[in-house]
Amino acid sequence: MTEFSQEQLTRWRLILGKDSQEAMAGMSSAGCPLSAEQREMDEALEAIYGSDSEQEISRSEWESPTEGRPHGAAKGRSMPRVARWLDQIRNFFPKDVVVLLQQDAIERRGMKELLFEPEIMAKVEPSVDLASAVLELKNLVPEKAKDAARDLVRRVVEELRKRLESRFAQAIRGSLDRSQHSPFRILPNLDWPRTIRRNLKNYSPTVKTIIPEEISFFRRQQRQNEWNVIIAMDQSGSMSTSLIYGGIMGAILASMPAVETHVVAFNHEEVVDLTEHCSDPVDLLFGVQLGGAEDYWKATSYCERFMHTPAKTLYILIADLYDTSPNEGRFVKKMEFLLESGVRAVTLLAISDQGQPSYNANLAEKLSKLGMPCFGCTPDRLPDLLAAVLKGNDLHQFADKVRLS
């Protein structure tokens, strides 16, 4: 029989839960006692992963644990209050584990409705999953909790925006195209390394410096509104996480003078132009009504009005491609026409941290053959996508690199 140290037994006891207490205690002459801190950690984990954890816990059970009842006793449904539970897990676990525990609490214990308590939302660790849950249920949020719900989404948005904004700026503005040169002789365009190399032969020992005869300047790559980016977001419920990233991307691009940006959200009944809300991505996200079927032809036809310069237009469709309109073929024909006119287009099947898309493979294949790559793209790859477009790179090659990485 394998010998375990007391520390190893304790760790396995916490992993396996209270049902393993008797077995763990029998493996050591000292038993398997838990310290006060370990008992509290065990309580926090048991609240989510206990033997009855697949059953939803009612509001009263979350908020009013039975006083004086030993952990795991009686009906096995003695639950810590949510606020106390949140404090516990934040004390015992790192941030990434806290986020995972919160998500499991929602999925396994029916905690969604409790996110609408202001004091609870103020304590949770912000995450994309929680923000998605709030957006899905925003119409059910009571008046007293609306400010707290928006604040939670805003915390998530600001963290993601901070993470992505500088990289988008670098990709879009491009600063200088260091492969080409220009006759525009202004100091910001001066190519110092090339100028020095070309004039080394003109070094003067007398003045101990180079006398420049040939001066090189970079060509500016981007000008005001040089590109037109249109983001069309499928509002079906499965796309809630993707919409968060799409909204943030739209808000970032809208703040950059090199890009004309339009953001719309759609289902089978209507297309809503959210561009005016790009200055505040939280307003933009709360303007999305999740749920319903999709009509990609209707959405694309609406967006066509913004494609005034096809050769400088990028159409980004954020969708799962499950078209529920009567005629999927007319959407394919519409995209064929737009691509032939010079529009560049991509479908982002899922913009998630994991980048594991769920989508209609049949329609994705048709669009890809037309020249509209369809791929799952993590948020950190979005700036690379924009850079690839601005440089005129082959988007199919970019998509292949994303799949392989």
Give me the CATH number covering residue 320: 3.40.50.410
Cβ proximity of 59 and 113 under 8 Å:
yes
> What would the mean pLDDT of 385-393 be, rounded to a whole number?
78
Cβ proximity of 338 and 300 under 8 Å:
yes
Residue 28 lies in a domain: yes
Residue 162 lies in a domain: no
Residue 174 lies in a domain: no
Confidence tier at 14 by pLDDT (50, 70, 90): confident
Q: Is the per-residue pLDDT at 115 higher than 50?
A: yes
Alpha helices in 225-372 (DSSP H): 240-254, 281-286, 296-303, 328-340, 361-370
Cβ proximity of 364 and 403 under 8 Å:
no
> What would the mean pLDDT of 373-395 be, rounded to a whole number?
78
- Say yes or no: 273 and 334 in one domain: yes
Model confidence over 26-37: pLDDT tens digits? 777 677 778 877
Model confidence over 142-170: pLDDT tens digits? 788 888 888 888 888 888 888 888 888 77
- Say yes or no: 302 and 388 in one domain: yes
> What would the mean pLDDT of 270-281 be, rounded to a whole number?
87
* DSSP-derived 3-state class of residue 231: strand
Range of the domain at 252: 227-404
Cβ proximity of 313 and 228 under 8 Å:
yes
The domain total for the chain is: 3
Residue 1 lies in a domain: no
Residue 158 lies in a domain: no
CA 22 to the chain's CA centroid: 44
State percent of the chain over pLDDT 70: 75
Closest to 370 in 3D by CA, of 399, 346, 404: 346
- Last residue of a domain, which of 220, 241, 275? 220
- Say yes or no: 57 and 92 in one domain: yes
- Say yes or no: 214 and 231 in one domain: no
